[in-house]
Every structure is written in structure tokens, then in C-alpha cells.
Chains A and B, each alone.
Chain A
Amino acid sequence: MNSPQHSPLDDLATKVLLDIADDAEREELARLVAASPESRRRFLDNAMLHGMLVREARAGSFAPSKGEFFRNLENAPARGARRLRHLLLPAAALVIISFLLLFLLPMKANAALDRVIDVMSQARDRTYRIEVIEAPQEPRDSSRPDRGRFPVGNFLDGAALWMRGPHEFVLSQDLPNGQKRLIGADGKESWSMRGGEEVRVSPDPARFGRAIFAKNGEIAFLDLRTQLEELKRLYQIEWLDRTSSASHKLIATRRSADQGGAREIELWFHPQTGVLEKMILRQLPRGNGGPHSIAITLVSTEALPADFFRHQHHHEPDRTVLPEP
């Protein structure tokens, strides 16, 4: 094909549509588009072509081979239009409508979060590793008598976290004195133990989980399901990446500076299963000490023993148990 003629407007329009224009170029294009009907028509030519290429690509027109096209379809993320599906439910046309619209319309960020929450709500065993991304230069509060020698939030790097359903978790931390500390809950009661010392047990299933970051209703990372529910209310949810075949990513930004909780939360989840694979919490509230930012990464979904979340699983039968009122 011959080299096509083009104008400065074409250059700018292409850059804007490919998302590589700088602010000056965007402003210049806006000025040109406002200036004349011819410029608007030409810009729309570019924009409509771009839109048509997006749709053609989704139809597989550019796939190098039919095999790859069908592989892409098989690997494509489930596309949900929850509200639309709800609206059209009662009709006999449901199957046709759902198929067509679900296929044609990709998923919104909030709908993706709903899916992650649904999966998180199921009683499925998961093992996570906690990594401190950004620690304070000088951990504070470590001498506060009401928080003990080793505040939970100050020793999270390398900790392991096991989860099943709501209020079922175990957190394992290595302390500087060589002891291991375990904090957990089995859905009915929560418990804590350190080294070979006695086991403290509370009838409140959230009692020991609250020790970590939760204060005045702030979000506690241990109860991920509740936290994700809160995200919808307190945070602006947007897509960060939904093209990768490995992980899809959402980013949640706190709506108000007055509200507690991490300022920004990144959620990585499996495109097909919706299983949360990684959660990055940035700029955590530091009222209880602890790190600025942490990452929680999925290590395994292997099934755990049935009684894993009960304290008895983690100590000898003759260990002293101190019930709390």
C-alpha cells in the first residue's frame, strides 16, 4: 500500500488514542478540534477507526492463527454484567441475552471486586505470606506496656497467614527473642500463644485479630473478607490491569482522608477463579505502630487439617489455657 498523506492533527490524534501524548499535545489537539468542523471530522475519523480496531481485535481478526484465537477465547476472563443480567432474568430470552451481553461487555471494576469477595467468602483454605514493603525508620510503641514487648504489627515481615472462612485464621510470627507467636481464631473464639507459654483464649472471635491495625473501626487486614466488603463503601475501585493472563489487578483508593485504613490497596486475583493472590496495602494507619506498607501473597490453596484453626492443633494437650472473660 502507498504511503498515506497525513496532517499534524493525525499525529496528535494517534498519540492521544494510543495514550502516549503529553499534556501539551493533548491541549493542542483539543484546540484544533475546537477550531473547525473539518478538524472535528478528521479527529472522529481517527477515533472511530481506533474504536473499530478495538472491536475487530475482540472478534479475533488480528490473531496470527485460528488456533490462537480460540485459545484466547478459552483463556479470556469471565465477563460479567451483573446488573444487566439481573434485569433480564425472568425472560425465556435469558440464555441468549446473557450469552451475548456477557460476551460482548467486559466486567466493571466493582463487579470484579464482588467476584473476589464471593470467592473469599467460601470456606476454602489459603496460605499467605506477609512481606513488609515499607517499614518505619524507627518502630515506635515497642515500649508501651499495654501492648507488650513485641507488638504484633512490628513483626510482620515473613509472617505466615492461613485462612479459611470469616473469622478463621492463624497468623504465625517469628519474634526477635527466638520465640514463635501464633494468633488465631476458629470462627467461635480467638486465641494467642507465644513459645511454650500459656494459651490465651477469648470468646470474641475478633479479639486477637483486632490487635493488628484495627482501631476505631479501621480496616483489619486479617479479616480480608470484611475488608473487601468495606472497600466498596470506603474506596474508589478502578482497574489497574485486566489484560494480563497471569493476574488481574484492581486498585482501591481511599475516598476520604478522614477515614481510617490504608490509603491505597492493590488487589491481584486470578482471572478465571477470582482467588485473591496478592494484596498490597500502602500507607497503613500507624496508631498501633507497625509498617507503612505490606504485601500479602498467596502461597498455597492446599487443604489444611479440619481442626487447624483451633488452638489445640498447635500445642500439646497439657498446655495451660487461660480463658478471657
Chain B
Amino acid sequence: MKEPSSDPHLAFTRQFVTALPALHGFVFSLVHDTHATDDLMQDLAERMWLKFADYDESRPFVAWGIGFARLLVMEWRRKQRRAPLPLDEATLELLAEEAAEQCQGYDERIDALRKCLGQLNDRQRAVLHLRYQEERPVKSIAQQWNRTQMAVYKMLKHVHLTLLDCISQSHPRTAP
């Protein structure tokens, strides 16, 4: 529900910032590229702001935003000569429907993730730091640690699956 406010800018900001993680999750799950997701999030914010006067307060803001995000992602995919995952449009539509459903419990899952992160050891946190905070490619991490690319990949995969299992135990319907 849109919070009552005489200032539409402030009302939009409150709603958008609250919805941002879920919308980011939705877009990323279909685009699979961090920088492309960032660019699309800017376009999304702009489109939603321009249509904010038409927003029906009886609808959840995230669901309203996902409608825009879905169109943006489809437009983006059509322009890509080489997407990270070569999905046809019908499959992408199915994936978008499922992603929209998954976004509904996004806040709970991120809370679960934060708890699960506390169970990782220092080495596992370090690899997440290098990969996601410093945005280093797997190859670069392997060079720094004097390991093979495969070894770093396996380590990251193990961390991912450990986190997925942990989250799914907190929220039995699904992992994130």
C-alpha cells in the first residue's frame, strides 16, 4: 500500500527503496549480469516514477514494479546478441512468472540469508568478499590465492549450496 504523503517524491522514494531489493532480485534472476541489472534498475526507477501517478494503492508496490521490470527485461533480452543464458522468449516468460512469485517472500529470505552467513568460516567469507564486494573474476581470485580456477569455483559453489540449504531449512517452501 502506498503510504499517505502529500509529497509524491517522498512517497515514491519510500516505496521504491523498500521494494528495491526484491525488484533487483527479480531483474537479476532474469538478466544474470550485475552491471546490466544496475542499468536496468535505473531505467526501472525512471519508468515507475513517470507512471507513479497511475499507481493503484490497492496493489502491492513490488508487484506493480515487477510489471515494469518484466517488460524492461524482455526489451533488454531482445537487444542482446549474446545473453548469459540463451533462453527463448517463451521460457523467459515462464521464468519471469516464477521469479515474480519468488519475490513475494524476498524479505524473509534475505533475513534468513543474513543468519546463514554467520555460519560461514573465515575462508568462505573471504571468497564472498573477493567475488561480490570487490567484484573480482574467479580467475583473479585463483591467481591471488595461488589456486586453480576450478578450485575457486568449487569453493564458491560449495558456499552457494550451503547457503541455499540453510535458507531452505529456515523457509521450507524454497531456498531464496
A interface residues (Cβ-Cβ under 8 A, vs B) = 1-6, 10-11, 14-20, 26-27, 29-30, 33-34, 37, 40-41, 43-58, 60-64, 72, 81, 83-84, 87-88, 91-94, 96-97, 100-101, 104-106, 108, 239, 242-243
Contacts and interface: CB of A to CB of B under 8 A. Distances in A.
Give the most central of B34, B110, B137, B160: most A CB within 10 Å: B160
Give the most central of A2, A4, A19, A48: most B CB within 10 Å: A48
B153 A14 contact: yes
Q: DSSP majority for the B interface?
A: helix
B84 A88 contact: no
B164 A4 contact: yes
Nearest to B173: A41
27 contacts: A1-B119, A4-B158, A14-B157, A16-B84, A16-B85, A18-B138, A19-B138, A20-B153, A30-B91, A33-B85, A34-B91, A40-B91, A41-B98, A45-B164, A48-B106, A49-B113, A50-B32, A52-B21, A52-B176, A56-B114, A62-B129, A72-B133, A83-B46, A93-B10, A93-B13, A96-B13, A101-B45
Q: DSSP majority for the A interface?
A: helix
B57 interface: no
Given A48-B28, A52-B113, 4 more contacts: A50-B32, A54-B37, A54-B132, A97-B13
Interface string B29-50: 1101011011101100110011
Contact of B86 (A11, A26, A101): A26
A60 B117 CA distance: 13
Given A17-B32, A49-B176, A88-B9, A44 B98 contact: yes
Nearest to B87: A30
A164 to B, nearest CB: 34
Nearest to B50: A87
B87 A48 contact: no
B63 interface: no
B175 to A, nearest CB: 4
A86 to B, nearest CB: 10
Contacts of B143: none
Given A34-B87, A56-B117, A87 B161 contact: no
B30 to A, nearest CB: 8
Nearest to B41: A105
Interface of B: 7-10, 12-13, 16-17, 20-21, 24-25, 28-30, 32, 34-35, 37-39, 41-42, 45-46, 49-50, 84-88, 91, 94-95, 98-99, 102, 106, 109-110, 113-114, 117, 119-120, 125-126, 128-129, 131-139, 149, 153, 156-158, 160-168, 174-176
A96 B7 CA distance: 12
Contact of A63 (B98, B120, B129, B153): B129
Contacts of A64: 125-126, 129
Contacts of B16: 101
B86 A4 contact: no
Contacts of B119: 1
B143 to A, nearest CB: 14
Contacts, number: 201
B157 A11 contact: yes
Nearest to B165: A4
Nearest to A47: B29
A52 B21 CA distance: 8
Give the most central of A27, A29, A45: most B CB within 10 Å: A45
Contact of B17 (A63, A83, A104): A104
Contacts of B137: 19
A14 B176 CA distance: 15
Nearest to B45: A84
A57 B87 contact: no
Contact of A46 (B9, B12, B120, B164): B164
Contacts of B126: 62, 64
A91 B7 contact: yes
A33 B32 CA distance: 14
A89 B34 CA distance: 28
Given A34-B88, A93-B10, A101-B45, A41 B133 contact: no
A291 to B, nearest CB: 30
Give the most central of A2, A20, A100, A242: most B CB within 10 Å: A20
Given A1-B119, A88-B49, A97 B9 contact: yes
A43 to B, nearest CB: 8
Contacts of B139: 20
B138 to A, nearest CB: 5
